[in-house]
Structure formats: structure tokens, C-alpha cells
Structure 1
């Protein structure tokens, strides 16, 4: 379990010199087009969760629907984000072959950032993120998702930031990482309110 300090501290670690996180020629997508929220995304996640659990059995400790497709009313790229927690993400033999057989493709390997691995789907548009049980990132994903679900004003604030970022990124021919950077100020602002409400950040008395 991550500590409160670990949860509120963003660890955006760059790749060590000479290393790339991208696997076998993969690269960030330039498709940043957003769609209105589709209620069917919840069903897509349910299918993905079942596929992951069938492939990994007890090795799939937690499988969560996160990201914008998990927030009703929020526009999103039609790519379902899934957080998968395994005991040791560095033990790739314990889960990578099984996920590949289940129709996923390893695209990113970042052992320096919470042990993160990222898989895409061969038949379903998905970002399957793999982390370990002590990852603060999965906790942040859940906090952000649940806050937006419960706070329409912040959901709409994030919606507007997403739409503006997508418009600018598309016009400039930017890729998804640059699109994400354009949203970061608003994301951190919303996180601040969510962290404070959760008691993770204490306000001066």
C-alpha cells in the first residue's frame, strides 16, 4: 500500500539515458480525436476484465476500469483504459505470454516508473496498464475517476480541458503524449481538490 506522501507525489520519471520505453517499434499515437461518452464502454471493460482474468487466473490481483471511458458524461478517445495489478510486474514470464495469447500486445516497458508495462489490444482498442501492488499510480487513477464521477463541475472542467487539448494537438499534428501534457495543469488542479478531500493533503489550520 503506498503512503499518503507517495500518492500525492507525481513520479513522472523519464527513461534512463539510452533506453526507450517503446517495444518493437511501437510509438505514441497521433490519433487524439475524442468521442462523446458511450455507455457501451462499460461493457467493453467487462469483456476485457473477463479475458484478463481467464488468462491470468489468481495472478490478476486487481482489474480496474479507469480513465475517461470510466466516467459517464466525459468525452474520451474510444480506447478503454484498464489497470491490472500483479504481484511483480518485472516477472514478465508470469503474465506476458498469457496476455499475448489472450490477444494483447506489449507496447511499453517502463520498469523505472512503478514497474509499468502497457499492452494494446489486437481486436479491442484498449490500454492495459500493468503495475505492482505498491504502485501509487493505480491509487491516483481510482481517486481521479471516483472524484470526477461524484463532482460534475470538475468533470466539466476536465471535459473542457480535454476538448481544447485535442483541438490544439490535432491542429499541430502532435501525438498523444503531447495532448496529455496540454491537460496536465487542469488535471493537477483537480487532483489537489481530490487529495485534500481524502485527507491526503492537510490544509493549514
Structure 2
């Protein structure tokens, strides 16, 4: 099991290019008001993953902003999927490709993270191995934002500002993430302290 230190350690950007194929191109970052249809959209995506992987999908979690009722978000469903060994791509990537997902990110140095993209609806499917601290962090953050309206409001505010600045500058999604990183880490650190992890 991950230690408190594993869970509370923040992830820095990779030193190597993580992209499979071409990296993202500049496009407007759009933040929309919360859509009450997002939970049902996740359920449909979850069913696709279950159909693709069966029992190989050990855990499937709706994470990210679309998983938090009332939170403005990019209209992209983020999903964490746990498999026996995320480094063993042959065990799950071809099956997911058959169901419309495409491998876009490979990060061996960061918990052997893989990210696949789905387009209809837009999905970021993050694949990790069991007991990965990042899955724990994502679920904790989701639940914290669901229960703490002040932090939810602060997060929505920085998301809108970061999206506007990134779009104005002609940046890409990684630039958007960097612009909101300080506020995200403040919320994480407050959450970790409240849970006795720091």
C-alpha cells in the first residue's frame, strides 16, 4: 500500500516527451457550466470499458472536474482505470482500441501511467496499476471538492482564468494545467492536512 509520503508527493512534468504520436496543438480551452448529464455519460463510458476489458478492469473511477456536481469543467470525462500491470500494454490497449480509444500518453517514470483518448464522447482514460497513489489522490480530490464548496468555487475560478489566459496566448492544455497548478496544490495540501497525511 502507498505510504502517506507517496500519496502527498506532487507530480512534476515529465523530463521526457510522453506523447504517443503528435503532441497536442493549440486550441481554445473551453470551460462550461456543470452538465447534469455527465454522470450518465460516465456510466456509458464505464460500460464500454467493462465490455472491452471485462475482469481485467480491477477498478474504474469517474475523476476530474466532470465528476464533481456543480463544478465548471472542460467537457471531457476523466476516468481512472486500474489493471494488473499498466506497463503491459498488450494486455489491455488493443482491447480498448477496439472500443474506440487511442493510446496518447506513455509515462513509465510516473507510476507507469498510460492515457488513452476517446472522442465520442470526449474521454481521457488514465490507466494505472493496483495501489497507485495517484488513483488515491484523484478519488480523494474528487470527494473533497464534492464536500467543500469554498474550494470548489476557488477551483472553478482559477480554471476559468487559466483557460482564458491560455486561449489568449495560443497555448495548449499543458499550459492551462500549469496556470492552475498552484491553486490545485493548495487545495491538495489542505486536504492532506485535514486527513492527517501531513
Q: Tell me the residue number matched to 1:10.
A: 10
Contact 1:15 1:110 in 2 (8 A): no
Q: Which runs of 5+ in 1 are unaligned?
A: none
Would you identify which runs of 4 or more consecutive aligned residues in structure 1 move more than 3 Å?
none
Is residue 79 from structure 1 mapped to residue 45 from structure 2 by the alignment? no
The CA deviation at 1:21 is 1.2
Q: Among 141, 158, 164, which residue is 1:167 paired with?
A: 164
Contact 1:105 1:122 in 2 (8 A): no
Contact 1:90 1:111 in 2 (8 A): yes
The CA deviation at 1:25 is 2.1
Q: Which deviates more from structure 2 when the two are superposed, residues 130-139 or residues 33-42?
A: 130-139
- Cα distance in 1, alignment partners of residues 174 and 11 from structure 2: 16
1:49 aligns to what SS in structure 2?
helix
- Cα distance in 1, alignment partners of residues 70 and 50 from structure 2: 28
Give the RMSD, CA atoms, in angstroms. 1.2
Tell me the TM-score normalised to structure 1 length. Answer: 0.93
The CA deviation at 1:13 is 5.0
Q: How many residues align?
A: 198
The CA deviation at 1:161 is 0.8
Is residue 176 from structure 1 mapped to residue 142 from structure 2 by the alignment? no
The CA deviation at 1:27 is 2.3
